[in-house]
Amino acid sequence: MKKITLLFCAICLISLSAYSQILKPVTWSYAAKKTGPNTATVFIKATIDQGWHLYSQFVKDGGPVKTTFSFPSSSAYTLVGKTIEPKAITKFESTFKMDVSYFEKSVVFQQKIKLKGKTAVVKGNVEFMVCDDKQCLPPEQVDFSIPVK
């Protein structure tokens, strides 16, 4: 009888874990394009699942975690200016009791660089937070490595 009870519990746990799902509503992709003999632009694209919001780099304190890009210094390139983003949707969110700027569906961030040689690998990470109309997920960091040829 104990074996049957243990087997039943194991089956229940396995079926429960099959129904649980890790939410990953943002997929990141990367590309780079040379714009001159020693300049390039790095493209960092977020594809956002339906119903979710990815927050802008320009969210005021007291709101959700803003999207932040970090690039360690490199001997292969230097950053030119800051990471730019397209115009975001700005609306009042009662959760944060303030206007917040965010993106839906997809967004492409761009970072210009000056190459010190013919090629480089741009490394860094992006920290971001996403919410839907019911929940916000904890902030997440994703590392990236983008070859520039």
Q: Which residues pair with 30 in a beta bridge?
A: 44
pLDDT at 14 (0 to 100): 40
Domains in the chain, CATH or no CATH each: 23-148 (2.60.40.1250)
Contact between 27 and 54 under an 8 Å Cβ cutoff? The reply is no
Q: Find how far residue 92's CA is from the centre of its chain.
A: 22
Give, for all 149 residues of the chain, the pLDDT tens digit.
444 433 333 343 343 344 446 889 999 999 999 999 999 999 999 999 999 999 999 999 999 999 999 999 999 999 999 999 999 999 999 889 999 999 999 999 999 999 999 999 999 999 999 999 999 999 999 999 999 99
